[in-house]
Amino acid sequence: MPTNKKKTQVTASPERRRELLATAAEVFAAQGYNATTVRKIADEAGLLAGSLYYHFDSKESMLDEILSTFLTELWEGYDAVLAAGLGPRETIEALVTESFREIDRHRAAVAIYQKEAKHLAALDRFHYLSDSQQKFEKAWLGTLERGVASQAFRADLDIRLTYRFVRDTVWVAASWYRPGGRHSPEEIARQYLSMVLDGIAVRT
Question: Tens of pLDDT along 102-126?
Answer: 999 999 999 999 999 999 999 999 9
Distance CA(79)–CA(71), nearest Å, equals 12
On whether the CB atoms of residues 157 and 144 are closer than 8 A, the answer is: yes
Q: What is the pLDDT of residues 36-74, one digit of tens each?
A: 999 999 999 998 888 888 889 999 999 999 999 999 999
Instruction: Give 121's Cβ-side CA count (13 Å radius).
Output: 14
In this prediction, residue 104 carries a pLDDT of: 94
For residue 4, pLDDT over 90 is answered with no
Residue 41: count of CB within 10 angstroms of its CB: 24
Q: What is the pLDDT of residues 89-101, one digit of tens each?
A: 999 999 999 999 9
- Averaged confidence pLDDT in the chain: 90
Residue 91, classified by CB atoms within 10 Å of its CB into exposed (0-12), middle (13-18) or buried (19+), is: buried
What pTM was computed for the model? 0.87
Range of lowest pLDDT (74-78, 112-116, 180-184, 199-203): 199-203
- The amino acid occupying position 147 is G
pLDDT, mean of residues 176-197: 89
